[in-house]
């Protein structure tokens, strides 16, 4: 954008104003599946809803995951995009299963294919302390520069 600046005695000078770069906005909503070993020995589905925004190289946001085991986890996230690919990571900040609060989470998603991978762990506590679980599936992945 071009504006003008009046300087006393010199008339009007052109000034280039930097346009603010629009934020990158990311939304991931989907369903991923994994398996928990003993004592559960069961397949588990996790329903995810994630949102983040900021510069493409420094996104900040949060998410929620609800598992068919009954656990609901809220997590804080940071990350980045590379084209249609999203990489976010963070920690469980609140859970209906308090021993896993503080456990790391990672989300990788692709807006072109809809593929979503959710990694939880190593778990901070509970019957699966120290273990890491990977859930894979698909959903709606949006990467927008508004």
pLDDT one-digit tens code per residue, 98-124: 999 999 999 999 999 999 999 999 999
Let me know if residue 2 belongs to a domain.
no
Tens of pLDDT, residue by residue over 41-50, are: 999 999 999 9
Given a cut of 50, whether residue 13 has pLDDT beyond it is yes
Note the pLDDT of residue 2. Answer: 43
**Which residue, chain included where needed, has tokens 């990489």?**
87
**Which among 49, 70, 50 is positioned nearest to 60, based on CA atoms?**
50
The CATH number covering residue 98 comes to: 2.40.128
Note the pLDDT of residue 40. Answer: 83
Domain count, the chain: 1
d(CA 103, CA 100): 6
Note the pLDDT of residue 39. Answer: 80
DSSP-assigned states of every residue in 129-141: TT--EEEEEEEEE
Burial pattern 85-110, b for ≥16 Cβ within 10 A else e, equals bbbbebebeebebeebbebbbbbbbb
Tokens for 64? 């929620």
List the domain range (segments joined by +) for residue 63: 21-145
* Residues in a beta bridge with 51: 27, 62
Let me know if residue 36 belongs to a domain.
yes
Let me know if residue 98 belongs to a domain.
yes
pLDDT band at 17 (very low <50, low <70, confident <90, very high): low
Tens of pLDDT, residue by residue over 68-89, are: 999 999 999 999 999 999 999 9
Let me know if residue 12 belongs to a domain.
no
Compare 6 and 89 and report the one with higher pLDDT. 89
């Amino acid at each position: 954008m071009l504006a003008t600046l009046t300087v006393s005695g010199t008339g009007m000078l052109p000034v280039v104003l930097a346009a603010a770069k629009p934020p990158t906005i990311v939304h991931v909503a989907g369903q991923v599946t994994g398996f928990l070993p003993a004592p559960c020995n069961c397949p588990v589905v996790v329903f995810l809803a994630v949102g983040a925004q900021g510069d493409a190289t420094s996104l900040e946001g949060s998410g929620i995951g609800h598992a068919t085991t009954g656990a609901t986890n809220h997590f804080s996230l940071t990350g980045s995009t590379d084209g249609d690919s999203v990489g976010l990571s963070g920690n469980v900040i609140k859970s209906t299963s308090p021993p896993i609060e503080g456990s790391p989470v990672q989300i990788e998603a692709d807006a072109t294919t809809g593929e979503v991978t959710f990694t939880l762990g190593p778990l901070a506590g509970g019957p699966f302390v120290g273990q890491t679980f990977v859930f894979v599936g698909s959903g709606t992945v949006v990467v927008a520069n508004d």
